[in-house]
Structure 1
């Protein structure tokens, strides 16, 4: 009897022992989200006041656009691209100045980051979300003049009207770089400049790996989308056009 009890005890101990878990299979299925899904009245009633409030905020009119702005209305620069770069420059300058005592010289964004046009008529907070749906933050980079020249070559090679502000690129009739001016003054490759851009480009997005050669980074902790909303609120009328910040001389 004693041996039987010992045997049963050993069996119970073995059966209760925790062994390593092993994954045998993974399965999944696609659940379509469409009109076939019926509304849950209790959930809908619960979220309704929040939905109404969010829509009120998003659809509140901040400014007015006399004409539609797009990123495709110019070959080397565009009305919407110019506006986006100007917003980065205008909204980040006072913040950077107050924190560091330094002046931002120029701004750069990527063409692909602009995801919608700014239609003529009322400009709302929803407009900002439609144009800039990404959580991109504005950062300020300390860069040498030689890197500004490399940035100019990057913009030339991109073959798209990339958003830029604060500096000018001039090409000769053959498409070769003729001049780079920063705030109307010829580029000094021995000088230090401050570039406002977005964290996406700093991290190498848009093939902008050259920005990693910066000499210092200041994160403004300022969403570009929030900068847009602040800008729209301040200006009342949103104006932008294709200009001469990036030009190519024609043959005579």
Structure 2
């Protein structure tokens, strides 16, 4: 019998244990900035230098972070089940990739990518955007962070939805369950018969209860869950 089809949704909680700052604090600030100023198209229009500087700084900070045991465990699971696994991340860091994950969708964009506001091309970019490098396609110096802001459409929604509809197991790791469309995936998976699992530091705000909800650090919970999945698969 083949391995189950698995969709794993990851949020800020999985990267927090690598020292990556979470999205916002209780005051509605993101690393000391108002979310409206650094995570909306309107904020970028008002002060592009502030926004570009903010994401350049985040890119530098992430460069010094390292994948943790949770990232590595998911890469190990992919190595065992291959295309039966899809990781959907709300994170804009590259820790999943550096851990070895390849079947991955960054639904909220990536720090190591730039979007040209003139021609719409998305390309990997490790350079600091504060220097206003030219677009590699059209040549205009109109690159912005390739990060999905409030009011913008997340990436890969069709692929994600198809995977969620077809999965046998849906797992949510380190996410609050408060931001849509990601927050709706557990209900969609459950409606189509998937077993749902939450691995989180504390219970999320998901509207639909998970079949199995475990609380604790991702670096402890995720490797243990992966070991369970691999053990079960070996007995099939």
Same fold (TM over 0.5): no
TM-score (norm 1): 0.25
